[in-house]
Structure 1
Amino acid sequence: MHRYNKVVLALGSNLGDKKNHLINAVHLIHNEIGFVTQASAVYETPSWGFDSFPFYNMCILIHTHLLPQDLLIRLKEVEKKLGREKKTTDSYQARTVDIDIVYFNDLVLNAPDLQIPHPQMQHRKFVLEPLNDLIFDWKHPLLLQTTRELLANCNDSSEIKKVSDIHLPKENYCFQQLNFLAIEGNIGVGKTTLAQKIAQDFNAKTILERFADNPFLPRFYKEPERYAFPLEMSFLADRYTQLHAALGKHDFFNDFVITDYYIYKSLIFAQVTLEPDEALLYRTVFDVMYKEITKPDLYIYLSQNTDNLLANIKKRNRGYEENIQSDYLNNINKSYNEYIGTLPKEKLLIIDVTNIDFVENHKDYLKVLNVINQKIKQ
């Protein structure tokens, strides 16, 4: 399972064009730090702890791979870009933008420069009111209270006034137009990770291949000629059963489903691994099953060079994959290319990820999303 962090940030501004400062902060965070999945309304609140202009405040929920201290550094950079000046005293002061980490998963952290959850959040209505707009099921990890309970118990009597909503970058994507997205590619290309990331950010449901449960897989990599046919038949049966059952349960008028494989993968691999007589029998069985499976709205093929595939396979350190050779990957790639050449162009998107790290580099991930989004718009 792809690991990511769910983080709630509180944003505030009381200088200049306050709403625009918040909008710019949200966009910078989305473009440089993590995917912004939710935002509260913008609220006007009096300054808290010092006499100054009223604040505009809001909260956002983001998904990021960054750790807390790294996230703090990046948020300070966003504040600086938006004109916040470095504090010269310990007292509160007016600022163009202020960004605080409220929650970071269920983490409790008490470092000299960072405390999580924010130690004053339960006393501040200008944090709790926007926080209550967000849809999530967290409880304060120390107080064990929901946002609604924290708000009810808060003694802050400050007047809070809703100003407006803002447009999220997420709303520029058209993924809601898809019902079924299949992501494919060679071994080690990152199709499962990409499927999981998109599903997490766009609230989609995933159907992920159950390769780890196949007892023939480690035997095949050691003795391919002996175990190729039982391996491919078992994979075909499992993929058909999983896809047929899972896709049959979904309401495609309302659900968005992402898979990290499509059943045609079975035929692609079988053409590489099986002898001609075995392949003929396999194709007969495959054709019967293929007719019963729902076809994806969009088929994404991730293209990667063989050296990078081998490096990725080595990095994930699955013992049964240690004998995979470049010739095998090249043959699979050739078989994929033959298949995707038969697909309708309007249903196919090929993304070259040779120089893209959509796992660790957030900007690269956004590049991939934008390429997919442009395809959906066509």
Structure 2
Amino acid sequence: MKINYLVIEGNIGSGKTTLVNKIADDFGARTLLEGFDDNPFLPKFYADPEKFAFPLEMSFMADRYNQLKRNIREFELFSSFLVTDYYFMKSLIFAQTTLSADEYMLYERFFNIIYEKLPKPDLYVYLHADVDKLMQNITKRGRSYEQNISAGYLAEITQGYFRFFKRQNDFPILVVDTNQIDFVKNQNDYQKLLGIIFENDYPRGINRVLID
């Protein structure tokens, strides 16, 4: 499968950014990483979700759009390999979980204006992990503002991704169950994952894979 624009996504703590960096190092790819650490609303949101959900999601959407606009030009996607740890649709997935109904309706109006203007990935890979594993990974990496994330919130985000997958038919989506592998520390698991991503042709819509 010829891939010029590869998206690696997953819930919080799934290892998506680590995988993007490993692939970029091995294949000489350009990377586009989500710059969330500097968002001033993120720690405020984790402390008081109801109050800060809307400004957080609006700022994330604006940041993602500006970053994609600056770094992705369609003609460049035909001549180089780009791998990124987020897709713009992530904005809508998280907003469905965090916003009230009236806030979400307003948010979606802004989102739809932007979304159609952006290029679509050649392959979208979703790293699926159970909530318990996500919680362990979050604890292990030790970001202070993430330590209050609840298992319920992570479960809602996972459900939001799968609702999106069921509606999406613009590009191939590969859902990889990572519960029984460690592609960070186990080179054999990493190579298996690379084979699944790069050595198969996937139709548009959702495709599920379990790594033995």
CA distance in 1, matches of 2:158, 2:186: 25
Q: Which residue of 2 aligns with 1:184?
A: 9
Does 2:200 match 1:375? yes
Q: Which residue of 2 aligns with 1:313?
A: 138
Is the CA contact 1:182–1:258 (under 8 Å) kept in the aligned structure 2?
yes
Is the CA contact 1:239–1:263 (under 8 Å) kept in the aligned structure 2?
yes
CA distance in 1, matches of 2:45, 2:75: 34
Q: Which residue of 2 aligns with 1:200?
A: 25
> Residue 339 of structure 1 aligns to a residue in which SS?
helix
Gaps of 5+ in 2: 204-212
CA distance in 2, matches of 1:223, 1:357: 33
> Residue 299 of structure 1 aligns to a residue in which SS?
strand
CA 1:346–1:283 in 2, change beyond 3 Å: closer, same or farther? closer
TM-score by length of 1: 0.52
Deviations 1:165-192 (A, max 9, x none): xxxxxxxxx5xx2110011110000010
Does 2:53 match 1:242? no
CA distance in 2, matches of 1:185, 1:328: 14
> Residue 77 of structure 2 aligns to a residue in which SS?
coil
Does 2:118 match 1:290? no
Q: Which residue of 1 aligns with 2:153?
A: 328
Residue identity in the other structure for 1:368: L
Deviations 1:100-150 (A, max 9, x none): xxxxxxxxxxxxxxxxxxxxxxxxxxxxxxxxxxxxxxxxxxxxxxxxxxx
> Residue 175 of structure 2 aligns to a residue in which SS?
strand
Q: Which residue of 2 aligns with 1:348?
A: 173
Is the CA contact 2:121–2:171 (under 8 Å) kept in the aligned structure 1?
no
CA distance in 1, matches of 2:192, 2:170: 21
When the two chains are superposed, the root-mean-square deviation of aligned CA atoms in Å is 1.5
Residue identity in the other structure for 2:190: Y
Is the CA contact 2:42–2:56 (under 8 Å) kept in the aligned structure 1?
yes
Deviations 1:14-63 (A, max 9, x none): xxxxxxxxxxxxxxxxxxxxxxxxxxxxxxxxxxxxxxxxxxxxxxxxxx
Identity of paired residues, percent? 50
CA distance in 1, matches of 2:132, 2:3: 33
> Residue 168 of structure 2 aligns to a residue in which SS?
coil
Deviations 1:194-242 (A, max 9, x none): 1111111011100000010100000000000000000000000000000
State the 1:250 CA deviation: 6.3
CA distance in 2, matches of 1:364, 1:250: 34
Larger radius of gyration between Structure 1 and Structure 2: 1
Is the CA contact 2:120–2:170 (under 8 Å) kept in the aligned structure 1?
no
Gaps of 5+ in 1: 1-173
> Residue 83 of structure 2 aligns to a residue in which SS?
strand
Residue identity in the other structure for 1:316: R
Residue identity in the other structure for 2:65: Y
State the 1:370 CA deviation: 1.0
CA 1:377–1:293 in 2, change beyond 3 Å: closer, same or farther? closer
Q: Which residue of 1 aligns with 2:187?
A: 362
From the two aligned structures, give the one with the greater helix fraction. 2
> Residue 37 of structure 2 aligns to a residue in which SS?
helix
Show the 5 A alignment for 1:87-236: 177-236=2-61
CA distance in 2, matches of 1:377, 1:227: 39
The structure whose RCO (Cα within 8 Å, separation 6+) is larger is 2
State the 1:348 CA deviation: 1.2
Q: Which residue of 1 aligns with 2:76?
A: 251
